[in-house]
Structure formats: structure tokens, C-alpha cells
A and B are shown apart, each in its own frame.
Chain A
Amino acid sequence: MRPTTRRVLAAAAGLALLAASTACADDAKQAAENVPGVTDGEVVIGTHQPLTGPAAPGYSKISAATKAYFEHVNSKGGVHGRKIVYKVMDDGYNPANTENVVRKLVLDDKVFALLGGLGTPTHTNVLEFVKTQKVPDLFVSSGSRNWNQPDKYPTTFGWQPDYTVEGKILASWVKREFPGAKVCHFGQNDDFGRDSLAGVEKILGPVAAKQTYTTTNQQVGPAIGALRAAGCQVVISASIPGFTALAMGQAAGQGFKAQWVVSNVGADYTTLSAQLGDKKVILEGMVADNYLPMVGDTTNPWIQEFTKIHQKYNAGNPVDGNAIYGYSMAYTFVQALLAAGPEPTREKLVAAVRKGGFRGPGLTPFRYAENVHAGYSGVRLSRVTGGAQTYFGPTYTTDDGDAPVTEFTEPPTTPPADAVPTA
């Protein structure tokens, strides 16, 4: 052996011993440390949002509203004296980016909780990580049933009605209004589309034709052509706004006339008409569903309160369904944080949501319970007429299983002063 080699080997062996002896003692200490993200003056929470990319139209405005609502609450003294800091990270609706930014939020920025992480394909891939870190993962902005698995993912909670609940209610309406018609399904090529289809088929049985799209490929022509060739009279669509616009635009271009029935997440009229520009007339007659106060309804007290906040903190963006969504979800979070008490911990926050009992802007109650992590229990149908999206018919509730679709008759709630929940 050469002297140099020997010297290097000796050094390596020495270092190896040193490495072995430097036990990782600070790990246990760090684990016992204070609650991450909570100080006397602040609660830091984070989210991943599609500020760019295929899902940005519409959705990029949600986090702006959520942030505006927290500014409003902070200006009224915050929650238990703490101001809410909302860290928004762009993931471009790309599941690979989501993994990065969520790890950054949890490991590096040390957020107390995640709130409203947006998207089915994006958020599904961080569930395991969220579980091992035991971070409260509240109100995922997606209706996938993945969030409602308390045994597997004890800290993850949905918020909006899940796509199966939605699919069942939409399909029930179609069954009643279009008996014997050829009903087809157009959906995103992931759990979003699949959950919706599951709900639709629970009511209607197998659909006449089904087509899917991929968010990275804007060519929906062949899929729409196939639906047209199948002679579809009704198309139930589980699509994000950009792809609802593409699909309906493509259908109009091909001269394919059908009744479009669109999932709430892809049906905000303001977003769609901005996407379609002067072709927005094709949206006339589109049926969709919602579970929050409707934007155009200026007599609704919730809309009035939210519009006030909007004009003060978020005036650069339109008041649309995305903004109302952001405000309403932030409202529920403040309710949960209040319920977690003056000294919140991650465990207390999760327990508070499990206890449930929140009522807010939504038309129906939440389904939260000890063994249910699903959000709103139902929807009401809406239709576009004369360039305005308005509700019609009763509100319905159901679950993602075999429960029947039933009418819900309780009147909606009214907001507290300044639309800030009180304990």
C-alpha cells in the first residue's frame, strides 16, 4: 500500500468513528419542541396552489381570497390574539412540484398546518408525507374521496362536497329531466374523473360513452368527436375550468349539441366566460351545481359581507365563484382554529375538526365526525340563463355510498358581525 493511500485510509477510518459517535441527540429534543408554526403573535399555515399552469384560470384567484380574508380577520385582532400568516406556494398543478413545495412548507418553513392544498392529482401524492409528519391537512381544495380516509390519513380533511356526492345529485337530476336519454361522461384522467363517474353510475348505471382528458394535453377534439359519434344527448363533465371551456368550445365547433352538466369545480361562469371570450354564448343553458352562496345574488348577506372584504383587500381580482370559495374555506378554518382553543396544537386542531358542528356560508352542514373526514354533504343545481348563473330547485344531500339523494330544507345561516366567527 502506498503511503498516501494509507494516510487517506487512516483519516477515513478516524472520521467514520467520529461520525458514529456524533449521535443524533438533538432529534429527540427537536421533537419535543414547541408547536411548529405557532408563536404568541402568529399562526403560520401554508398551501400549494396552481398559480401557473393548466389549472391556473380561475383557481389562481382562490388563494388571493383566502389571504384577503385572513388579513380581514387579522385586522379584527386575529384568532385568540394570533395573526394568521398564509404562505402560498405555486405548484403549477404538477404533482411533482407539489411534493417539493409541500416538503418545503412543512420541513423548512415549519408551518402549523396545511390549508386548502389544491387539486386531486397534486395533493394525492403528498398524503403519505403529510401522514408521517402528522401535519393537520385541512380542507383540501378538491372533491376526491381520498381525503376521507381517517384510518389511513388521520390528519387529512376534505371540505367541498366530494365528486361522488356531486355525481349522484347531478345524475339524479338528469335521470328525472332526460328519461331514456343517452348520457355520457367526460372526465379528467385521474381520481377526479373516476370519482365523479362512480357517482354518476351509481344512479344511472353504465353511461353510454365515456371519454377523458389529460391536463398536459389541450387536444380534446378527438374525445369530443367520440362523444358526438356516440350520439350523446347529455354530457356530464368532471373537468377543471380550462378544460370545460375547451370541451364546450370544441363541441360547439363540431356542431355537437348536447345538454352539458358540469361539476362545480369546472363551472364558474365568470371564469368560463373569461376563457371563452366572445364565444361565451355557448355557456347558455349549462347546468352545474354549487353549495355556497351564488355570486350574482347581491341580496345574500354572505355575499354582501364577502364583497366588502373583497373590495378592501382583494380588489384586483373579480368577485367570482373562486373568490367566494376562498372566503368560505378561510371562514371554516378560522372556526376550526377558534375551536382548537387559546393554546392550539396540531392534535387539538384535528380534534376540533373531527368534532365538527361548524355552520357557515354553505347551504348544507358538513359531514365531519369521528370517523368521517368529508366536507359539505350536498349541492344545489344552477343554470346559466341570459349570461347569469342562478340556482334552481331544492338543495339535495347524500353521501358517497348508497344513501339516497334527499332534499334538504333547513334555511341557510346568516353571517356574524363582520363575517368573523366568534367562539
Chain B
Amino acid sequence: MTTTRTEPVPPSALRRLLPGAPAGGGPRSATLLRHLAVAVLAGTLVVLLTNQLPPYQNLQVARVCAFLCVTAGYTVLVGLNGQLSLGHGALMATGAYTVALVQQGLDDRAVRGWWILPGSLLAAVAVTALGGLVVGLAAARLRGPYLAGVTLAVATLVPAVTTIFTGVFNGEQGLRFPAQNPPAALGAYFQPERWLAWIALAAALLTIVLLANLVRSRFGRSLRAVRDDEVAARLAGIPVARTQVLAFVVSAACAGLGGGVYAVLTATVAPGKFPLDLSLFLLMAIVIGGLGSLAGAVWGALLLVALQDLPGLLTDRLDLPAALAQRLEGNLALAVFGLILIVVMLAAPGGLQAGVRALATRLRATVRRAPDR
């Protein structure tokens, strides 16, 4: 199909994870099957991992998976379609509030059932996609810094909206809804955090498989064509505006799912979870991971969660004076994030994933040069 030609950004990062999968040819189902196989493999590994981990670490796994939904969709938009959005924190908030409002509403009417969780997440995806459509329509008319500016405004709106409509969103305090408990079939002592990790994992795998297929499809090629040269894309018969809006909708839907899952992890939602920094952190995460690469999105999600706990860990271990520790708590994550960004951009301009790939290629070359394997 594609990929034998040299392209600035390789089409599917997941594909690269497979050793020696020959490119091109083959029926379409092979791509889907391959992605499914990798997803099952990765999923099984994570499930095995969660079986061994204590509760707090499982919660972190769950957070990584929730963020992965967002970073994956975000990296497709920014990396593959070239639209810079700074409003993905707000899109996450949209998903989170939708889940909270739906679950709260159903709970108030004493509606119970296993379908409430997937139902509310689906609603979150739908509502956020709709929001993405609105922002995307405006975005398709704007370029570069202007687009970034508009989406930045959206990100700063979240706290204001929740405060102005206190009756619905309950201001700074936010909303609470019933917590997700593991099904009774798993036993009375099943760790609730493990169950949360599994929910988040399912959402992340679904997102990744769908996106991996999408970026390898005709639509995925249109995304890249539009990114690389809008005039050329138009000459080739690709509807530029529609492609851009669709890219925004897809990306927003992923952010909505991620935000919804993020809310489910604590069974609460508050504007403080979606500050402006979050949108900027998300962008840094996908840049460090490797723009446009789904595997890079995994790195980004890992980093987002790891850096949340880093300041506490350091101040705990180093036994710093209280005043200094306090100052670090607030700012260390930002400083470390910035530092990593600089180092990664110097060492591997394509992001962590590009670095890993280069390393793997070199290793493979060394192995091949050796006389016997």
C-alpha cells in the first residue's frame, strides 16, 4: 500500500513495533488484524502487570491509559494534520463533565446497570466530538498562531463556565457521581484500583486500534497531504477544509473519551483538574514523545503521570527545608518537563519514539552483521 516511499513522518508507529513486518501489498484486513494482535498483546501485558501492582501504582496505570486516549488523538491532529490546538484540556473537561452529569442524572433517578459506564463514556465522546466540530469549523479558517490563540481561549474558558453556571457545574467544588466498583464476579477482595485500570486500559486500546487503522487509511493519507501542502492536496482532489474539521472532530472525540475516563477514576470532576497548564503539558508530552507517532503518544502519557508524582517523591527523599520543598512542589514538574523537552529536542529531534527507533535500527544492523543469530 504505502510506506515504501520515503515520507517525512511514517504512517503508523504501531506497525513499526512489529519485527520485520513486510510493507505493502496484502489485503486490507491484514492491517486491522496486525493492529488487533498488537493491541491484545499489549493489553495482556498490562493486565498481567496490574495483577502484580499495589493499588496506588494501579491507579497510575489507569491514569496513563486515560491520558493515552487524549495524547493519541492529539498527536494525530498536531503531528499528522498540522493543526496546533492548545484547547485539548477543555475538550477533556467537556468529556469529564458529560460523564459526571449523565451518571449523576441517572443515579438521581435511581437507574442502575452495567451499561451506565459505557453509555456515559459514549455520551462523552459524542458531546466532545460535537464541541470539536464547532471549534474545528472555526479552526479550519485559521492558521498557525491564530489557531493556537483561539483554542487557547477555549482552554481558559473552563473555570469561568463552571463558575458562571454554578447551578449545573457546581463551581470550583465540581461534581461527584457514584464510584465504579468491580463486579461481584471478581471476588470480594478484588482491588478497586485494578478494575479502574482495566476500564482505562480498554478505552486506551480501543482508541489506539481505531486511530492506528485510521492513520493507515485513505483518510490518514489525506491528513498528511493537507499538512504537507494544502494547495497540492486541493489539486489532488482532497477537500482541505473538510479534512481539517474531521481531524479536529476525531481528535476531540479521543480527548472526550480520555477526559471521561479520567473523571471515572476518581468519580469526581472539578475545574481544577483541567487548568491551562494541562493543555500545555499535553502538547509538551506529545512533542517529547514524538509528534504524529502513536507510540510517541504512549511515551507522552507515561511522562504526564510520572511527572505528577516526581516533586513529591524528590522532596520526600531529599529531606529539604520546608520552605524550599513547598516552592519545589509547585514548580518542579514544570521545570523538569521543560528540561526534558530541551534535552530530547537536542538529542532526538523527532522525539523519544524517533530516538528509540533509531536505536533499534542500529541494534538490528549490528545483529544482522553478526555471522549467526
Contacts and interface: CB of A to CB of B under 8 A. Distances in A.
Identify whether the interface residues of A are mostly helix, strand, loop, or mixed.
helix
B266 A190 contact: no
A132 B170 CA distance: 24
A16 B33 contact: no
B48 A125 contact: no
A216 B159 contact: yes
Query: Which of B40, B181, B188 neighbours the largest number of chain A CB atoms within 10 Å of its CB?
Result: B40
Interface stretch (B15-23, B66-74, B75-83, B221-229): B15-23
A52 B330 contact: yes
Interface string B169-186: 011111010110100000
A4 interface: yes
Contacts of B56: 103-104, 107-108
A217 B171 CA distance: 12
Contacts of A100: 308
Identify whether the interface residues of B are mostly helix, strand, loop, or mixed.
helix
Interface in A10-67: 11-13, 15-16, 18-19, 22, 24, 27-28, 30-31, 51-52
A19 B176 contact: no
Given A107-B193, A108-B56, A121-B172, A4 B159 contact: no
Given A89-B312, A104-B312, A190-B172, A19 B268 contact: no
Contacts, number: 145
Contacts of A13: 40
A22 B51 contact: yes
B338 interface: no
Contact of B176 (A103, A128, A189): A128
Interface string B189-231: 1111110000000000000000000000000000000000000
A5 interface: yes
Given A8-B38, A19-B47, A97 B266 contact: no
A107 B55 contact: yes
Nearest to A102: B266
Interface string B1-43: 0000000000000000011111000100010011001101100
A15 to B, nearest CB: 4
Which 6 pairs from chain A and chain B are nearest by CB? Answer: A121-B173, A108-B56, A96-B272, A107-B56, A96-B273, A94-B272
30 contacts: A1-B33, A2-B21, A4-B19, A4-B20, A5-B30, A5-B33, A11-B41, A12-B40, A15-B45, A19-B44, A19-B51, A22-B51, A24-B51, A28-B188, A52-B329, A92-B330, A95-B174, A95-B272, A99-B268, A100-B308, A103-B266, A107-B55, A107-B59, A125-B270, A128-B268, A132-B192, A189-B166, A190-B171, A216-B172, A216-B272
Interface of B: 18-22, 26, 30, 33-34, 37-38, 40-41, 44-45, 47-48, 51, 54-56, 59, 159, 163, 166, 170-174, 176, 178-179, 181, 187-194, 266-268, 270-273, 308-309, 312, 326, 329-330
